[in-house]
Structures are given as structure tokens and as C-alpha cells.
């Protein structure tokens, strides 16, 4: 049901974008970025080892609705975060990675020369793949599964125009309440940087 709702929302937004583009002559753009994600509270428990940061990459495309507002769609992949703990001769470990598809409105402040800053707010569909295992040195058991859902995203960004067609962009994204009762909810912060091309 959540997936169907997301698809209906995305289709509606695409239709709106197409109409806005036809009536206002909006400028389209696409880009990619790479950076680091940090999972909040992941390493707060007493663990032997823990890594709550991961490489992340995102591709995105959008259209400028007017001089101050863009609508953007993106896909992000977040690499593994992992943790382990040992007690009574047993070592337990867990790792997880994520996939995120988002739709976002961006509200820009008028640029001074080639520089512009913007705020953003939107929704995203998340899919978390995770694996848990336990070993006592003689035997090992493991299990993997996935969970998905819909959450909110917000953040800030800045864009610097190299020329009329190419920009460099830096983003801070805050992904809110990713997860559910089965795997726990957490917030994720992402810092990323990459090129953007207008057409």
C-alpha cells in the first residue's frame, strides 16, 4: 500500500512538473553526487566495534518551476554500516545498506552572481537490506531480510555556476525516521558534493 501511494504521488508530481514546464518554460537539470552518510544513534550501545558512517552516491534530475523553486527526483544508494558485540564466547554482528527514491521541492534564495543557496523538503521511499549473524567459533548462523517504508527528508544546499550549463553543488540532507519497529527508527545525515548539468 505504501509503494502504491508513493507511485501515485510521483505520477501526480511528474504531471504537475510537465504542466509547469510547458507553461513556464522551465529549465531541466540532472546531476550526481558522492559523499558520506552518518546513521544517528547506531553506535550508542556498548559494542566491540561499530561503524555508523558509509559511502553514499545519488543521481537526480529536476526542473526549475520558476526563479525560486525546483522540483527534483532522485535515487540514493548508501553502503554498509556495521556493528558487532561479543559475550559468553558468542560474537553477534549486523550490517545494513539502503536504497532511497525521493521527490523534493527546493526553495532557492536569489543568487548573487553564480552562487545560490536553497532549502528543501520532500518525501522518500526507503528500502533497507540487512544481515545479522552469530558465531561461537565452531558454528555460525545468519539471516538476511529487507524492510521498506516512506519517510520525510529535508536539508540545505548550495550551487555554484561554472558556466551557463554546468554547476557544482554541495548538499546536506537530513533523512527523518528511516526504519520501523522491526529494525528500529533512526535519522540519517548526508553530506555530498558533485556536478550538475542544465539543459
**Residues 47-94: tens digit of each pLDDT:** 789 999 999 999 999 998 887 899 999 999 999 999 999 888 889 999
Instruction: Give CA–CA dist 173/76, Å, rounded.
Output: 11
User: How far, in Å, CA of 109 to CA of 150, rounded?
Assistant: 28
For 29, the grid coordinates are 537539470
pLDDT at residue 81, as a whole number? 94
Q: What is the per-residue pLDDT across 97-139, written as a single tens digit (0 to 9) for each?
A: 999 999 999 999 876 689 999 999 999 999 999 999 999 878 8
Whole-number Å distance between alpha carbons of 62 and 72: 4
Is 90 exceeded by the pLDDT of residue 157?
Answer: yes
| β pairing state of 115-135 and 140-161 | antiparallel
Across 156-161, average pLDDT: 94
Q: What is the pTM of this model?
A: 0.81
Strands 90-108 and 53-64: unpaired
Closest CA relative to residue 127, chosen from 102, 156, 105, 106 = 102
Residue 135's closest CA among 83, 95, 90? 90
Q: Provide the mean pLDDT of the chain.
A: 86
- Mean of the pLDDT values across residues 146-152? 95
Amino acid at each position: 500500500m505504501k509503494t502504491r501511494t508513493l507511485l501515485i504521488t510521483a505520477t501526480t508530481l511528474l504531471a504537475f512538473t510537465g504542466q509547469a514546464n510547458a507553461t513556464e518554460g522551465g529549465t531541466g537539470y540532472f546531476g550526481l553526487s558522492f559523499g558520506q552518510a552518518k546513521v544517528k544513534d547506531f553506535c550508542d550501545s556498548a559494542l566491540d566495534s561499530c561503524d555508523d558512517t558509509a559511502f553514499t552516491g545519488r543521481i537526480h534530475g529536476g526542473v526549475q518551476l520558476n526563479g525560486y523553486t525546483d522540483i527534483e527526483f532522485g535515487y540514493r544508494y548508501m553502503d554498509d554500516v556495521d556493528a558487532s558485540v561479543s559475550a559468553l564466547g558468542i560474537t553477534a554482528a549486523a550490517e545494513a545498506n539502503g536504497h532511497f527514491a525521493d521527490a523534493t521541492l527546493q526553495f532557492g534564495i536569489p543568487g548573487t552572481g553564480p552562487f545560490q543557496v536553497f532549502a528543501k523538503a520532500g518525501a522518500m521511499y526507503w528500502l533497507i537490506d540487512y544481515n545479522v549473524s552469530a558465531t561461537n567459533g565452531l558454528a555460525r548462523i545468519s539471516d538476511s531480510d529487507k524492510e521498506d517504508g516512506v519517510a520525510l527528508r529535508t536539508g540545505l544546499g548550495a550551487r555554484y555556476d561554472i558556466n551557463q550549463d554546468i554547476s557544482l553543488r554541495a548538499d546536506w540532507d537530513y533523512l527523518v525516521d528511516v526504519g520501523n519497529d522491526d529494525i528500529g527508527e533512526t535519522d540519517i545525515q548526508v553530506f555530498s558534493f558533485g556536478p550538475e548539468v542544465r539543459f
